[in-house]
């Protein structure tokens, strides 16, 4: 019995001694400069570095690096200069990932009737779609939907909440990972 236990302990010690420590990047500043996370595949002893940040072409990468929403003025569906700049970034990203399809959501604040806000949300979503098409995105890749005032991101009956809810949101619906 002692020999089995001693043999098991020796095998475990040998396996622990063979494990390689993750390599540290000499260029990392220690404040999140690079992730450097590694994973070891069993049996081969090789290490592969996982990419830092979101996967290129993913919905997460689109949202973080490009921006997925624009905002509108009260009772407006025209695009501001800031909104156009965001949409130009979206169009450039969509051109790089030509297999991606999107849905543009039109949203409104809580004021106004349900019917009025559904119509306004539709005009907002179509303003986004039309601008993306003008920038060279295939119309077949873009669907629109209006949620009116039904899906607020900010609750409250004040200017701060209302301004966040008057928005157009571009969502990745197909062709991207993540």
- Please count the residues of the chain: 178
CA nearest to 132, candidates 121, 122, 120, 144: 144
Q: Is the separation of the CB atoms in 149 and 165 below 8 Å?
A: yes
Q: Where in the chain is the domain with CATH 3.30.1330.60?
A: 59-174
In the predicted structure, residue 3 carries a pLDDT above the cut 60: no
Please give the pLDDT value at position 56.
87
Whole-angstrom distance, CA of residue 67 vs CA of residue 163 = 17
3-class SS letters over 9-64: HHHHHHHHHHCCCCCCCCCCCCCCCCCCCEEECCCCCCEEECCCCCCCCCHHHHHH
Mean pLDDT for the stretch of residues 130-142: 98
Please give the pLDDT value at position 54.
85
Report the Cα 16 to chain-centroid distance in Å.
Answer: 39
In the predicted structure, residue 116 carries a pLDDT above the cut 80: yes
Please give the pLDDT value at position 53.
80
Give the tens place of pLDDT for each residue, 47-104: 566 667 889 889 999 999 999 999 999 999 999 999 999 999 999 999 999 999 999 9
CATH code of the domain occupying 59-174? 3.30.1330.60
In the predicted structure, residue 135 carries a pLDDT above the cut 90: yes
Lowest mean pLDDT, pick from 93-102, 123-132, 168-177: 168-177
Mean pLDDT, all residues of the chain: 82
In the predicted structure, residue 156 carries a pLDDT above the cut 90: yes
């Amino acid at each position: 019995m002692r020999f089995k236990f001693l043999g098991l302990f020796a095998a475990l010690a040998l396996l622990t001694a063979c494990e390689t420590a993750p390599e540290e990047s000499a260029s990392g500043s220690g404040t999140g400069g690079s992730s450097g996370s590694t994973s070891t595949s069993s049996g081969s002893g090789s290490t592969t570095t996982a990419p830092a940040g979101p996967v290129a072409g993913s919905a997460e990468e689109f949202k973080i690096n490009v921006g997925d929403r624009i905002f509108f003025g009260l009772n407006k569906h025209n695009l501001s200069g800031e909104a156009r700049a965001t949409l130009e970034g979206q169009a450039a990203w969509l051109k790089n990932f030509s297999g991606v399809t999107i849905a543009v959501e039109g949203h409104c604040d809580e004021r106004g009737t349900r019917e009025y806000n559904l119509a306004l949300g539709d005009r907002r979503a179509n303003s986004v779609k039309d601008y993306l098409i003008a920038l060279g995105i295939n119309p077949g890749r873009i669907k629109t939907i209006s949620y009116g005032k039904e899906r607020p991101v900010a609750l409250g009956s004040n200017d701060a909440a209302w301004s966040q809810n008057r928005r157009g949101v571009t969502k990745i619906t197909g062709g991207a990972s993540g």
